[in-house]
Structure 1
Amino acid sequence: MSLDRLAPAIFVLLWSTGWVVAKYATFVSEPLTFLGIRYLTAAILFTGFCLVTRAVWPRDRRTIMHAIVSGAFLHGIYLGAVWWAIGQGVPAALSSIIAALQPLMTALVAPFFIGERLSGTQKIGLGLGFLGVLLAVLPKFFGHGADAIPVFAIVVNMLGMAAVTYGTIYQKQYLPTGDIRAIATLQYIGALIVTVPFALALENLHVDFGFAFVALLAWSVLGISMGAILLLLYLLRRGQVSRAASLIYLVPPIAALQAAAVFGEELTMPMIVGTLIVVVGVYLTNRKDPAPAE
């Protein structure tokens, strides 16, 4: 089976673990502090990876700056906002719902930025995906504890979603070519530039160094920051940005399944049905339209 077929499934599985990691990380470190260490580690390892594999570094300043700016949005602002919001009390599942707005926002703005048009089938797929996410995760927030969710943290979480949407468009618009290994390295430098000042201003830089922290950091860097991000950049290169973004729809239900297995959270029938609807929606969004008859 080719990488084109395997990459979407592997990306979703890797990326969805980020919600579990974000929840666990609050027990061993302050969120922005953890992310700063994660970005620094990822930048160092990516640099070594590029040197060993002889990656081709961009030579013009414009490309370098585009890579740094895209990383600031894709990683720094996005994950910084999401992790800070979770640290402030926003449930991980609710945060994943907000993240699920990204494909719709991407589909809405892509025609204006890069002239990308969606077919009727793709529009239906995006709509089904969003409805599936709502059905899978939203019901739990009408029960006990819903009033305790901080509104300002939710707003910050939504700003993070807007940031990753713009970062995805920016990546497709200004970095259509180039070695993705080198670009990913520069992107983590951009993320570090954004994250460190906020960590210094908002946190005490507290970290409980131990096995749990090392394990979370190792998976965050190797599994998500390196594995998932390289796959995402690959998908953006190989297909439409809206199709790549639609994979985010699969993250909330899969994250809910992981939370049920790891934290013992309840797995409800709406979650199961919603997940099936999401799968159909993503299939329709990513399905290749038949070539017109000559």
Structure 2
Amino acid sequence: MKESALLTSLMLVGVAFIWGGTFIAGRHLSVNTPPLLSASIRFLIASVTLSFFLPNKQNKSLLNKNTKIRIFFLGLTGIFFYNICFFYGFQFISASRGSLIVALNPAGIGLVSFIFLHEQIRPIKWLGIMLSLIGVFIIVISKDPTALSMDVNTWKGDLFLLGCVACWVTYSVASKRVISEIGTIHSVFYSLVVGTILLGVTALSTNQANLVNILELSYSQWFSLLFLGVFGSALAYVWYYKGIEKIGATQAGVYIALVPVFGIILGMLLLKEPITLPMIIGGIIVILGIYFCNWSKY
């Protein structure tokens, strides 16, 4: 393997490790930190950090009214609603379990792109989508197979994390038009700014973002917020899109299969989370599904 190819692989493995770690940080923060406060600080840090990676030249004329509306929609779905589901969801669910449910993203993106954008899906990708759906179903019902008809509160955490999937699929499909107009990094940055403003206003209006709550944040909570903001929401995106530039979206996407693997390992090591046999079986099926979703050979 050439040195440049090795560095690209290591960079993408690093991205998967960071994104796997975001579930651990999210779970840690959700225990004692107001969700909207966590989300607001995370993306304030992320917006500032990502601003240092913006290309020097940006054609302002590309930001017409329609593009601005689309950017607002991206910030609303991919940042605002996603993080409400993310931080509220981890109040009820383990980091390991959450990382496996959110691993449904590639299958969801492929399915929605097929339905609304009429993108062609090859047989191997259909197999990946079906495996991902089956794997997540196994993971969700493994919590308590007899409780499927019980109160929705039983599945609150799972439903919030499935909300994350819905938000991210919507964001990913809707962002394709914006990325083609203003580029990837600017698209991510502007949606981060919009999401940060929406989260901040909501946190202030619900009194979650107040001086007392901010001063009560511990060192470990600040570390988690810095990790989420600097690495999980800024640096990892830069590395991931650099990886796409080097080896293409399909090959880079295969590395995403490592995200739930790292999420499970870190959950076991740092949070002492138990892993059940159905979670292992469902996780393996999901990871295979992700791999097939990103495999373009057939």
Contact 1:97 1:134 in 2 (8 A): no
| Shift in CA distance, 249/149, structure 1 to aligned 2, threshold 3 Å | farther
Equivalent of residue 70 in structure 1, options 63, 71, 74: 74
Partner in structure 2 of residue 83 of structure 1: 87
Counterpart residue type for residue 56 of structure 1: Q
Partner in structure 1 of residue 233 of structure 2: 225
State whether structure 2 residue 117 is matched by structure 1 residue 114. Answer: yes
| Shift in CA distance, 84/271, structure 1 to aligned 2, threshold 3 Å | closer
Contact 1:46 1:226 in 2 (8 A): yes
Equivalent of residue 187 in structure 1, options 191, 209, 212: 191
Question: 1:257 & 1:116 partners in 2: Cα distance?
Answer: 35
How many residue pairs are counted as aligned between the two chains? 284
Counterpart residue type for residue 218 of structure 1: L
Shift of 1:10: 3.4
Partner in structure 2 of residue 280 of structure 1: 288
Matches within 5 A, 1:1-294: 1=5, 5=9, 8-27=12-31, 29-50=33-54, 54=56, 56=58, 58-62=60-64, 63-87=67-91, 89-135=92-138, 138-142=141-145, 149-150=153-154, 155-205=159-209, 206-207=213-214, 208-231=216-239, 238-239=248-249, 244=253, 250-289=258-297
Counterpart residue type for residue 162 of structure 1: A
Contact 2:132 2:290 in 1 (8 A): yes
Question: 1:139 & 1:275 partners in 2: Cα distance?
Answer: 12
- Greater alpha carbon shift after TM alignment, 157-166 vs 2-11: 2-11
Q: TM-score, normalised by structure 1?
A: 0.78
Question: 2:53 & 2:282 partners in 1: Cα distance?
Answer: 39
Uncovered stretches (5+) of structure 2, i.e. residues with no partner: none
- Sequence identity, in percent? 19
Q: TM-score, normalised by structure 2?
A: 0.77
Question: 1:112 & 1:235 partners in 2: Cα distance?
Answer: 28
| Shift in CA distance, 21/93, structure 1 to aligned 2, threshold 3 Å | same
| RMSD value, Cα | 3.5
Contact 1:77 1:194 in 2 (8 A): no
Shift of 1:95: 3.8
Shift of 1:122: 1.1
Question: 2:164 & 2:287 partners in 1: Cα distance?
Answer: 25
Contact 1:46 1:185 in 2 (8 A): yes
